[in-house]
Structure 1
């Protein structure tokens, strides 16, 4: 271990060493520059994994249900939400990958150390509860897919649970990543279904690029679904998973550019899969009695088989099982990583189960619990799936706020802190996410609110958020100039070698984070509002059951 490594905050010694990715190896002492496209390509192959897995893992059972509901109930009119989410996906996950590569410390531990026990516990509890429910939805997806294929529920769910536990319990990081990338490739099964169903691609492109509200349908239901799309496409667990998984893969700052490419590939696969599901589901059911009457993903497979033949239905069921398995693996790992980080337990896929008992016990325990709940008769599976995605959309703004504050913490990221453009863009994203939550609450309280009112809230709120973000960053830049500091977005370009070698010092050497009264107030207001918004979502879900 080098002197630089001895001064870093890496919490588990297994997180330092050779990068042994699914598609290549980079030695720990390999610091040579990459010259030529072949050398860079081999490096990219070795780095590939975290971005692909976290993105495709988010196109899970909940995503299948949410996207299929959007297509079956409203056609392709909500495709535009996916286009708007692309910058959100990149900005959030790019900040996370920087935090992981530079700090060597998981997201939950950073929140605990920098914001205190209260906020750390609040975030950990949010993550644990939401992840536990999310894993249940993954096994719902497995159950629905197996049912279409004629596999008894108890056998299909049981075998999948054992399979998921064994995949991560070998003590071989490379083996786990190779298995995960096979599942990532399985997500491409949605493409041949799109080709077989062949929806009008001109209409698909139009609805993807031009925002609109679907004609017909209750406003509260439409807004609940839109926020569900946000929640299933940009879920809080992604932040915790990618940061910890990237650390476990031993990726350091010098490979951040390659990891960004990995992330963009993952985003491309997510968008392709989501667009395909909404488009072919709309085409399958339009003009038939099932249009506007979504049940669950299993009914979508049956609809494909009914109107387009057994093959596309089978491919959809297999893709659903594949997505549910990778989703269950990633969500369970994000929880085990986070709790291991906070509780200072050994937490690495490089370790055998006997060498990290707590880590693997949490991972397997969540899988067993979720599988057992799915097998209980009478559980409202479809309603639970949609409720989880909506809750994720409501909780996401608070997670993004902590992420933004951490990425502006100079003691944590040093020369890698956010530039001004990233801060403005992130502030706009947070504002839009909060606006969606506000609209959800208003739609529940005032179900007859017009679509014009919604548009006015979105446009007006976005403009106000943009103005506030610009003013705050201009004032911050003026303060830097008055203090004689070089703006950080320029300082980052000065010394590439310094940036590649800089790592966060040990946590006990960091000076305490001093939050301004303004930041404390805004954080308290945000949390208070989220409690109200979550209450409204729960009310809406309960009302739907009656």
Structure 2
């Protein structure tokens, strides 16, 4: 058991990244609006996530390089390489800065159930001190710069988060026969946008960069690849179970207007008692703080790989990147600034980046010069290609959604 636990970790950070307040909110709305009928969409999202994250992990273990460094090395033309680097850094760096505010706000939403009225006013300016508390916790864990400390901290938080969401789902006493029917695919037009939302909140482009960079912190030999693969399957499937538990919890709410996960936490109180509200709120806090840690970390790894920086997590350049992302998140969250333009840019950039990165990943995973005998099998290529087609559709749909809302 001790040996088993010693070989899990990097993929847990991926789960910590994609189970954020955004995922909690999307899954909540899926349950409230469509009951258990979209559980199949979450299952497909998890399969797609496992396939792509396994490729990223395999690339990191075999090459001992992050995805951005491998990508940069494959383009000899300086102009093309520069354009690619600009696109990646813009999408990941600015996108993560925009979403970091949402991560911190989600953690604040969870804590606000316990701490009433967490705002203070200084000189006519309202300030939410819980945002600062979450920012300080994230800062301390990142500043230590010790991968093992960070890994173990997030494993504890993810396990705590899992327990919170799964217990909440059990408390709702769901109908098991209806849950089973929820795994039958249904592509009704009114459910299409929600299906896209579930996929988009699970398969996240910056997680591919983060995972490839993290595995080489823990494993250094092709012989250790099976550990990375098992880690990926276990952690991502656990994340999928959490997401499904949130959908199940949302399905228990009837005739109540739900706009966020915070509304779900409040709505559970009159139906299932105050305990359910507190359990879900602590889960939401864990979701917020884990994503608040991993988003700046991913941005720092991407910039480091793209620009060819040397050094580890304690290097000043690396720290300055995640500090800047974290700082913006705390400011936007604590002051209630709604950075609509930045978030819209992030949606467009990520919509463009996801199919590009998925396509590059498929391409590079078939290059024997890089991976040797560890290239994709025919089955992996077929599944990967189908996922890529879905990613292209998702990308165009997210971009179109932003355009029509301008």
State TM-score, norm by structure 2: 0.89
Q: How many residues align?
A: 391
Q: Which residue of 2 aligns with 1:419?
A: 377
- Aligned residue for 2:112, secondary structure, equals helix
Q: Deviation at 1:48?
A: 0.7
Matches within 5 A, 1:350-365: 351=314, 356-365=315-324
How far apart in 2 are the matches of 1:54 and 1:394?
21
Pair 1:94 & 2:54 matched: yes
How far apart in 2 are the matches of 1:224 and 1:277?
18
Q: Which residue of 1 aligns with 2:13?
A: 53
Q: Which residue of 2 aligns with 1:193?
A: 168
Pair 1:121 & 2:86 matched: yes
1:331 counterpart (295, 319, 343): 295
Q: Which residue of 2 aligns with 1:31?
A: none
How far apart in 1 are the matches of 2:351 and 2:245?
22
User: CA deviation digits over 1:190-212, x for unaligned, max 9?
Assistant: 111111111212111211x2011
Cα contact 1:65–1:385 (8 A) shared by 2: no
How far apart in 2 are the matches of 1:540 and 1:68?
25
How far apart in 2 are the matches of 1:212 and 1:114?
41
Residues 303 and 148 of structure 1: CA distance in aligned 2, closer, same or farther (over 3 Å): same
1:537 counterpart (397, 401, 404): 401
How far apart in 1 are the matches of 2:91 and 2:345?
15
2:31 counterpart (53, 64, 71): 71
Matches within 5 A, 1:125-164: 125-151=90-116, 152-153=118-119, 154-164=128-138
Q: Which residue of 2 aligns with 1:173?
A: 147
- Of structures 1 and 2, the one with the larger relative CO (CA 8 A, separation 6+) is 2
- Aligned residue for 1:379, secondary structure, equals coil
Structure 1, unmatched stretches of 5+, are: 1-40, 441-532
How far apart in 1 are the matches of 2:404 and 2:345?
9
How far apart in 2 are the matches of 1:385 and 1:128?
12
How far apart in 2 are the matches of 1:103 and 1:75?
44
Q: Deviation at 1:156?
A: 0.9
How far apart in 1 are the matches of 2:168 and 2:259?
20
How far apart in 1 are the matches of 2:290 and 2:296?
10
Matches within 5 A, 1:121-520: 121-151=86-116, 152-153=118-119, 154-188=128-162, 189-207=164-182, 209-213=183-187, 219=190, 222-283=191-252, 285-286=253-254, 288=255, 290=256, 293-349=257-313, 351=314, 356-377=315-336, 379=338, 392=350, 395-437=353-395, 440=397
Q: Deviation at 1:79?
A: 1.5
How far apart in 2 are the matches of 1:393 and 1:274?
22
Cα contact 1:78–1:213 (8 A) shared by 2: no
Larger radius of gyration: 1
Q: Deviation at 1:391?
A: 7.0
- C-alpha RMSD of matched pairs (Å): 2.4
User: CA deviation digits over 1:377-418, x for unaligned, max 9?
Assistant: 46389x998996797466422220011111122222122121
User: CA deviation digits over 1:288-325, x for unaligned, max 9?
Assistant: 2x1xx431121111111232211111111110110111
How far apart in 1 are the matches of 2:377 and 2:159?
34
Q: Deviation at 1:61?
A: 1.0
Cα contact 2:169–2:249 (8 A) shared by 1: yes
How far apart in 2 are the matches of 1:541 and 1:54?
30
How far apart in 1 are the matches of 2:187 and 2:366?
36
- Aligned residue for 1:281, secondary structure, equals helix
How far apart in 2 are the matches of 1:335 and 1:364?
10
How far apart in 2 are the matches of 1:395 and 1:186?
32
Q: Deviation at 1:77?
A: 1.9
How far apart in 1 are the matches of 2:206 and 2:327?
19
424-433 vs 318-327, which moves further: 424-433
How far apart in 1 are the matches of 2:243 and 2:357?
23
User: CA deviation digits over 1:66-91, x for unaligned, max 9?
Assistant: 11111122222222111212321121
Residues 384 and 148 of structure 1: CA distance in aligned 2, closer, same or farther (over 3 Å): farther
Cα contact 1:228–1:390 (8 A) shared by 2: no
Q: Deviation at 1:129?
A: 2.3
State TM-score, norm by structure 1: 0.67
